[in-house]
């Protein structure tokens, strides 16, 4: 599925629900009927054929049998879910319906009469909560969503924009994957319960499942985005999947009505007919039907794969362009390893699997640790031509004193940032230079980063930047020629262009003792 246009109004990231983490029980693969060798084959295939795996957790019969994070990702760091957030919003709707706060057959305008157009169309008047849930609103395009430079939309709430958007078809007759529709579900939950989805789910979902410190982006009106913007850990994804796999039961206690689970994960809408595509198997209430079971998923490869036939859940985070390829690996490599009965212990395969999972890593910057040019360029400032990213000067501090890590040092109008980088390894920082990844996310504004660097050739130094709360990594390549440097950059995935505009620079007066951010500066030509 191609990446959807960025829903760029990530206005405020809110973390309000604080509960104790409650880990899932652990077991060995063989005890739960999976061959460790089969899981190892899957993990190795994912590691070699998928460019940007972030994490995987496999749950069978309610127990985690394998889990791994590609460094610098780790088990404790929340990860953005993008549209996988929709399945959590759906869960809130199901709980609110069970409490009598709303019905899926309620008309949408019942909740927002004051935001409706002066003369609502007949189709808009017929739109129901059920139509929002199953992406069947009757619209043929998404309403303007998020922060926009369109002056005609300023001052309009996101709800108003949705209700003002044309509804050319009768609701229930045309499928359109529609994130603003999910936002409307979030708004309805807030309108009927008096709480945001995040707060409403706190005692009803997050606390029972032990999902600690979830965060959710809100709109300017203080409504959780619903369609996206939730950050949780990989294990929390697996927990929601397990709740649905168990028909709404958690440790023997009813958390979610069984009827809602069945209805939400059934095929409510037809969306294609290809037997080989996981995007053509139908859509439920903010859940996709899959060739095997059902799922929640998000842009660039965030997956909650629920497999009732196998009594299994697979949670994956990644940063990929081809989301189908990741699912194909699960279907082709992992599912054949699952058996109905326990298998004999295989200590050798279990040790090999554990070793593989413990040493997973995002590929570091490729190249050599040093170059004949290193001593000449290291520690010297290069003043940069005017650019859209606000970079004024850069320096590679490759031989720092006092036992410090090598670092990439960047100057902008806001000041100087020194970000440690590992030579041939990852060095993680709570914040630092993100090479434009921060522009792909409005929040967090200053994401955690991890950097590695290497000499790709005698005159080319590459820095690779990972933001471990996100699916993004980025490369920044320094090409040195005499006193000149050319900077090229690229993101692994993006809602827009992945290639960054080229920036040129010159060895600065700072290399001779003056500050490139003040006083006279060379004026290298601008190149976009």
* CATH assignment of the domain containing 186: 3.40.710.10
Residue-range definition of the domain harbouring residue 397: 374-512
Residue 202 makes CB contacts below 8 A (sequence gap 6+) with 16, 17, 19
Residues comprising the chain, all counted: 528
One domain, residues 461 and 321: no
Residue 386 lies in a domain: yes
Burial class (CB in 10 A: 0-12, 13-18, 19+), 183: buried
How far apart, in Å, are the Cα atoms of 420 and each of 238, 397, 430? 33, 9, 11
Residue 481 lies in a domain: yes
| pLDDT tens string 473-526 | 999 999 999 999 999 999 999 999 999 999 999 998 754 444 444 333 434 433
For 160, other C-beta atoms within 10 Å of its C-beta total: 18
**Angle subtended by helix axes 258-265 and 85-98, to nearest 10:** 140
| 28 in Cβ contact with 351 (< 8 Å) | no
Please state, rounded to an integer, the average pLDDT across all residues of the chain: 92
Task: Name which of 440, 74, 12 is nearest 229 in CA terms.
Answer: 12
Rounded Cα–Cα distance for residues 330 and 159 (Å) = 38
Cα angle at 251 between 250 and 252, to 5 degrees? 90
Residue 89 makes CB contacts below 8 A (sequence gap 6+) with 182, 185, 186, 189, 197, 224, 226, 227, 286
One domain, residues 132 and 192: yes
One domain, residues 84 and 228: yes
Task: Name which of 210, 238, 240, 327 is nearest 279 in CA terms.
Answer: 327
One domain, residues 398 and 457: yes
> Which pTM does this prediction carry?
0.93
Tokens of 446: 């200053």
One domain, residues 227 and 181: yes
One domain, residues 218 and 239: no
Tokens of 24: 């899932």
3-class SS letters over 444-476: CCCCCEEEEEEEEECCEEEEEEECCCCCCEEEE
| pLDDT tens string 394-453 | 999 998 888 899 999 999 999 999 999 999 999 999 999 999 999 888 555 689 999 999
Rounded Cα–Cα distance for residues 524 and 528 (Å) = 13
Residue 139 lies in a domain: yes
List the pLDDT tens digit at each of the 528 positions of the chain.
Answer: 444 434 444 456 665 555 678 999 999 999 999 999 999 999 999 999 999 999 999 999 999 999 999 999 999 999 999 999 999 999 999 999 999 999 999 999 999 999 999 999 999 999 999 999 999 999 999 999 876 656 677 778 999 999 999 999 999 999 999 999 999 999 999 999 999 999 999 999 999 999 999 999 999 999 999 999 999 999 999 999 999 999 999 999 999 999 999 999 999 999 999 999 999 999 999 999 999 999 999 999 999 999 999 999 999 999 999 999 999 999 999 999 999 999 999 999 999 999 999 999 999 999 999 999 999 999 999 999 999 999 999 999 998 888 899 999 999 999 999 999 999 999 999 999 999 999 888 555 689 999 999 999 999 999 999 999 999 999 999 999 999 999 999 999 999 999 999 999 999 875 444 444 433 343 443 333
Residue 519 lies in a domain: no
| 69 in Cβ contact with 164 (< 8 Å) | no
One domain, residues 498 and 445: yes
For residue 182, give the H/E element and its range.
helix 179-193
Would you list the DSSP string of 20-44? ---PPPB--TGGGTB-HHHHHHHHH
Residue 140 lies in a domain: yes
Task: Name which of 455, 434, 432, 465 is nearest 376 in CA terms.
Answer: 455
For residue 203, report the phi and psi dihedrals to the nearest 5 degrees: -80, -15
Rounded Cα–Cα distance for residues 96 and 88 (Å) = 13
Residue 20 lies in a domain: no
**Structural domain count, the chain:** 3
As beta bridge partners, residue 368 has 455
One domain, residues 464 and 380: yes
């Amino acid at each position: 599925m191609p990446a959807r246009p960025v829903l760029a109004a990530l206005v405020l990231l809110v973390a309000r629900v604080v509960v104790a983490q409650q880990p899932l029980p652990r077991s060995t693969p063989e005890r739960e009927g999976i061959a460790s060798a089969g899981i190892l084959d899957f993990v190795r295939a994912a590691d070699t054929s998928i460019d940007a795996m972030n994490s995987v957790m496999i749950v069978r019969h309610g127990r985690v049998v394998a889990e791994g994070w590609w460094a610098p990702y780790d088990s404790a760091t929340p990860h953005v879910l993008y549209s996988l957030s929709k399945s959590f919003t759906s869960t809130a709707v199901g709980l609110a319906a069970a409490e009598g706060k709303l019905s899926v057959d309620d008309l949408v305008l019942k909740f927002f009469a004051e935001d409706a157009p002066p003369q609502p169309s007949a189709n808009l008047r017929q739109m129901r909560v059920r139509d929002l849930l199953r992406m069947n609103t009757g619209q043929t395009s998404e309403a303007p969503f998020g922060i926009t430079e369109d002056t005609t939309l300023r001052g309009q709430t996101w709800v108003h924009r949705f209700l003002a958007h044309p509804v050319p078809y009768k609701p229930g007759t045309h499928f359109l994957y529609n994130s603003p529709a999910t936002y409307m579900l979030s708004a309805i939950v807030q309108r009927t319960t008096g709480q945001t989805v995040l707060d409403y789910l706190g005692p009803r979902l997050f606390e029972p499942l032990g999902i600690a410190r979830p965060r959710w982006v809100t709109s300017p009106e203080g409504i959780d985005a619903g369609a996206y913007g939730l950050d949780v850990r990989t294990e929390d994804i697996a927990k929601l999947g397990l709740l649905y796999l168990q028909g709404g039961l958690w440790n023997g206690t009813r958390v979610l009505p069984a009827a809602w689970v069945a209805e939400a994960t059934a095929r409510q809408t037809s969306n294609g007919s290809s037997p080989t595509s996981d995007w053509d198997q139908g859509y439920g209430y903010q859940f996709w039907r899959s060739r095997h079971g059902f799922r929640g998923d998000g842009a660039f490869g965030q997956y909650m794969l629920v497999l009732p036939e196998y009594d299994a859940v697979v949670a994956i985070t990644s940063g990929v362009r081809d989301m189908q390829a990741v699912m194909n690996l699960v279907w082709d490599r992992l599912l054949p390893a699952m058996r109905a009965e326990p298998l004999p212990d295989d200590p050798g395969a279990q040790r090999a699997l554990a070793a593989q999972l413990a040493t997973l890593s995002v590929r570091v910057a490729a190249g050599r640790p040093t170059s004949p040019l290193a001593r000449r360029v290291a520690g010297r400032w290069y003043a940069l031509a005017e650019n859209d990213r606000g970079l004024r000067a850069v320096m590679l501090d490759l031989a720092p004193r006092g036992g410090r890590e090598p670092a990439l040092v960047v100057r902008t109008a806001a000041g100087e940032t020194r970000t440690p980088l590992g030579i041939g390894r990852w060095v993680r920082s709570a914040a630092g230079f993100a090479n434009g990844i921060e522009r792909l996310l409005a929040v967090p504004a200053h994401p955690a980063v991890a950097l590695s660097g290497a000499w790709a050739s005698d005159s080319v130094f590459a820095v690779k930047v990972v933001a471990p709360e996100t699916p993004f990594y980025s490369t920044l390549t320094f090409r040195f020629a005499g006193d000149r440097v050319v900077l090229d950059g690229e993101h692994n995935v993006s809602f827009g262009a992945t290639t960054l505009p080229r920036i040129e620079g010159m060895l600065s007066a700072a290399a001779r003792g003056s500050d490139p951010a003040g006083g006279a500066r060379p004026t290298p030509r601008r190149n976009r």
